[in-house]
Structure 1
Amino acid sequence: MRAIAVLAAGATVAATLLTATTSASAAAAPTALPAGQFTLSANYHQFDALNTALVSTLGTAAVHTVMDNANHDRTGITDSLGISYETGFSFDSGDDNDCTNFPQGITTSRDAIGTANSGNYDGHQLILVSWYTKDGCDGASSRSRITLVDWDATYPNKYRKILLVEPTGTTAAPDFKDIKVHAGGVSWFGDYLYVADTGRGMRVFDMRKILKTSTGGTAAQIGRQSATTYYAHNYAYVLPQIGTVTAATTSGTNLAWSSISLDRVSRSIVMTEYTCSSGCTDYPNRAPRAVRFPFASGATTFAASTTATQALQLPWYKLNGVASHNGRWWFNSSGSKQLYYWTPSAGPHTYAWVSGGESISYWEDAAEADLLWSLQEPIGHRNVFAVKQANYDG
């Protein structure tokens, strides 16, 4: 059965009809920048020795094993989102109301493998959401995690949390530590998971290398406690970083990697920046950019050195989400609660969007309508939802 038909009990479809306004009345549009001034350097073997030692010590858990042990229940959407949507879910009440953890990025097993076998990765059709954690409700960011959510009628409506970690220590005594990134965007392509690292580029993980850890200990304990005991804030699974994709530019202003998304058609990752027109203290006060970086030919990895193939300066601000597919672009602004659609030929269109909107992921479907998946960050309203992309493409 196709998971798109599985709308969790209690979900309601918002009655508000989407409305669009075109750019005919002089709305600003993206403009091209020199793509050659943006480059990436990729290293997928940064932690090979340490990860080999960690796997030997702890053992791995396949994705299907993780989902067989999923221990949280997703629920139906009960909020009125203010837009029409096709399907979706909410996290359990603990995660929905948690003031220390915040959902950010979204990707799916459709990103990972496309429409083959209904988009199943290791037997499961999955929605993956990235989160960052703070030390206390008003504390600083302290770690990052992902959530794997089963989206398939064959399986229970369950999800499981996995801590993201960076390998440390030595090959004789391998260890790991928390990754303190905002995780504002995430893309899954093949076996590799790419997580945005705001000031750096992307961190890379391998979904075949989920490690099993010891539960117990205190919530603060992380890493090696003895030769065979490793704690991870009571997470049963951790996903260790395997490498880094580092961004550089000759433009004079480094990219702020706020959100990323996979474009399967052009086999590339697109990124955008969260910036303000003025008045921000924690974010840049300038026009944001969006840049496309292609994967190596026929691969789900970047070459050692990659030059961007498209770069745009954008007229919109406070962008938390980006997606691109077949030359079309979408940008979500949490500041204006609008979704902007743009192509060079048709120009921009503006749509009403949800409050607190975050990242976007394009969901290809060979038999049904393609979707845009997105999510909301605000406490008490952490809905993950999908809309028909055809309703938001001009």
Structure 2
Amino acid sequence: MSATTSNAPAPDPDRHSAGGIDRRAVLRGAGLLGAVTAGGTMLPASPARAAGVPEAISPNSFTITADYTTYADHVETLLQQAGSASVSEVMDAANHERTPVAGVVDGQLHGFRFDSGDENDPDVAPQGITTSRDAVGTAQDGRYDGRQLIAVSFYNTSPKGSRINLIDWDADHPNSYRRILLVEPTGTAEEPSFRDVTIHVGGIAWYGDLLYVADTSRGMRVFDMSRILTTDTGGDKEQIGRVGDTFYAHHYRYALPQAGTIATREGAEELVWSTISLDRSSRSLVMTEYRCPDCENYPNGTTRAVRFPFAPESTRFPDTMTANEALEVPLHHLNGVASSGGTWWFNQSNSTQRTLHAWSGTGEMTSHPWVNWGESISYWPEEDGPDLLWSLREETGDRPVFAVGAEDYGP
């Protein structure tokens, strides 16, 4: 959903004007925070205790099935016939510029805006966020295929579909990003094509090579970041898929085909897959539901948050997996969830609500002032400074992506 435009915050004083930033140095300095940092950065406002306590419920009724080969044959043939590109090659061809932003929330450590096309386009809206720190952790400074990256999912209404923006977040590379269209394979394995993925993409989680994408009423779709297609940028903007021996993707140069599907097991309790996030500390994926008691087009009732563990030593779920934790959360309008080291975060946000709730697993939640129109959350582990929480806003004309210290916004 979108709202009216608000004034843009001032540029980030800590970022170099070109080429990125030495983030480790900034993070180390941020470990010495007081009421105001030496550089003048305001710390988070004093938190308050929230009403209500999340209640543990039995996780046994929440079971998913995983098929990582739904479109395997189609994808391999598409790569052969259309051509492929690595993540590093995609980023070498990045053609959109991000710009720094500050002042989004108190205690903000990093942030940027997309270019004017993504910032102001009323036909698209950013939703989910994940990073290469999800994909690989702190190994090699969090670089996947040699790049430190942030991924943000967008849904499109004209033409209807969805994409990710893959953003370079590395002092060694330009401040740029590239759009990649999400597609669903069609046709036959011998003569494959593809179509748009027409879902809300409310949350994404990158683990190893795999990108998990929330599919609100069904579960998740799975994409393989090592299986990016190259497509023809000519043709009509409406063209999608195979035309003869040529593949089009609405003028996108790159498309990411769906590889697999995660769904609720038949007979198990249905969930509203509004947003998801990776918890590397427990090797699990967490999800929560957006429930709205006063809305006609959204589910009402009790909000639930559920954790699904991955198979041992794997970035995949087994064929069938039952949740190992489930909560009833006394909140509505949850657009974001994150978890690490036993702490949960819930982003309660719409046009008027702007609160990030943190919960240690016992007692009441702690409530922190946040942004309205806020979306997903991603936990960023860091070896040389405070761990981060990345998030974003979806409001047309005011769509910053920003990071704060996780400890500053803790329980």
Same fold (TM over 0.5): yes
Q: 1:379 aligns with which of 396, 399, 406?
A: 396
Partner residue in 1 for 2:282: 266
Partner residue in 1 for 2:224: 206
Which whole-Å CA distance do the structure 1 matches of 2:372 and 2:319 have between them?
A: 39
Q: 1:182 aligns with which of 197, 200, 223?
A: 200
Which whole-Å CA distance do the structure 2 matches of 1:91 and 1:30 have between them?
A: 35
Deviations, residues 68-105 of structure 1 (Å, cap 9, x unaligned): 00000000115x42432001100011110000111000
Q: 2:336 aligns with which of 297, 317, 321?
A: 321
* TM-score (normalizing by structure 1): 0.92
Deviations, residues 277-332 of structure 1 (Å, cap 9, x unaligned): x2211111111100000000000000000010000011011000000001110000
Which whole-Å CA distance do the structure 1 matches of 2:123 and 2:234 have between them?
A: 20
* TM-score (normalizing by structure 2): 0.89
Q: How many Å apart are 1:22 and its aligned residue?
A: 2.0
Q: How many Å apart are 1:19 and its aligned residue?
A: 2.3
Which whole-Å CA distance do the structure 2 matches of 1:22 and 1:213 have between them?
A: 51
* 1:116-195 superposed matches below 5 A: 116-135=139-158, 142-195=160-213
Partner residue in 2 for 1:21: 48
> Structure 1 residue 66 and structure 2 residue 90: aligned?
yes
Q: Which amino acid is 1:193 matched to?
A: L
Q: Which amino acid is 2:229 matched to?
A: L
Partner residue in 2 for 1:85: 108
* Distance change >3 Å, CA 13–CA 359, structure 1 → 2: farther
Q: 1:35 aligns with which of 43, 48, 59?
A: 59
Q: 2:327 aligns with which of 312, 316, 337?
A: 312
Which whole-Å CA distance do the structure 2 matches of 1:3 and 1:239 have between them?
A: 29
Name the SS of the counterpart of 2:85 in structure 1.
coil
Q: Please, which runs of 5 or more residues in structure 1 have no aligned partner?
A: 137-141
Q: 1:353 aligns with which of 358, 370, 374?
A: 370
Which whole-Å CA distance do the structure 1 matches of 2:25 and 2:194 have between them?
A: 40
Partner residue in 2 for 1:139: none
* 1:245-324 superposed matches below 5 A: 245-248=262-265, 254-276=270-292, 278-324=293-339
Q: Which amino acid is 2:107 matched to?
A: S
Q: How many Å apart are 1:172 and its aligned residue?
A: 2.9
* 1:94-113 superposed matches below 5 A: 94-113=117-136
**1:3, 1:151 within 8 Å by CA — same for their partners in 2?**
no
Q: Which amino acid is 1:120 matched to?
A: R
**1:14, 1:82 within 8 Å by CA — same for their partners in 2?**
no
* Distance change >3 Å, CA 269–CA 17, structure 1 → 2: closer
Which whole-Å CA distance do the structure 1 matches of 2:304 and 2:266 have between them?
A: 12
Which whole-Å CA distance do the structure 2 matches of 1:16 and 1:367 have between them?
A: 20
Q: Which amino acid is 2:315 matched to?
A: T
Partner residue in 2 for 1:226: 244
Identity %: 51
* Distance change >3 Å, CA 90–CA 52, structure 1 → 2: same
Partner residue in 1 for 2:349: 334
**1:38, 1:249 within 8 Å by CA — same for their partners in 2?**
no
Q: How many Å apart are 1:155 and its aligned residue?
A: 0.2
Which whole-Å CA distance do the structure 1 matches of 2:107 and 2:62 have between them?
A: 37
Deviations, residues 352-386 of structure 1 (Å, cap 9, x unaligned): 00121100000000111100000010011110000
Farther off after superposition, 261-270 or 281-290: 281-290
Q: How many Å apart are 1:347 and its aligned residue?
A: 2.9
Q: Which amino acid is 2:316 matched to?
A: T
* Distance change >3 Å, CA 159–CA 284, structure 1 → 2: same
Q: How many Å apart are 1:15 and its aligned residue?
A: 4.5
**2:125, 2:394 within 8 Å by CA — same for their partners in 1?**
yes
Aligned residues: 378
* Distance change >3 Å, CA 14–CA 102, structure 1 → 2: farther
Q: Please, which runs of 5 or more residues in structure 2 have no aligned partner?
A: 1-20, 28-38
**1:4, 1:87 within 8 Å by CA — same for their partners in 2?**
no
Name the SS of the counterpart of 2:80 in structure 1.
helix
Q: How many Å apart are 1:275 and its aligned residue?
A: 0.3
Q: How many Å apart are 1:53 and its aligned residue?
A: 1.1
Which whole-Å CA distance do the structure 2 matches of 1:342 and 1:183 have between them?
A: 26
Name the SS of the counterpart of 2:99 in structure 1.
coil
Q: How many Å apart are 1:14 and its aligned residue?
A: 7.0
**1:38, 1:250 within 8 Å by CA — same for their partners in 2?**
no
Q: How many Å apart are 1:171 and its aligned residue?
A: 2.5
Q: Which amino acid is 2:342 matched to?
A: G
**1:13, 1:86 within 8 Å by CA — same for their partners in 2?**
no
> Structure 1 residue 368 and structure 2 residue 392: aligned?
no
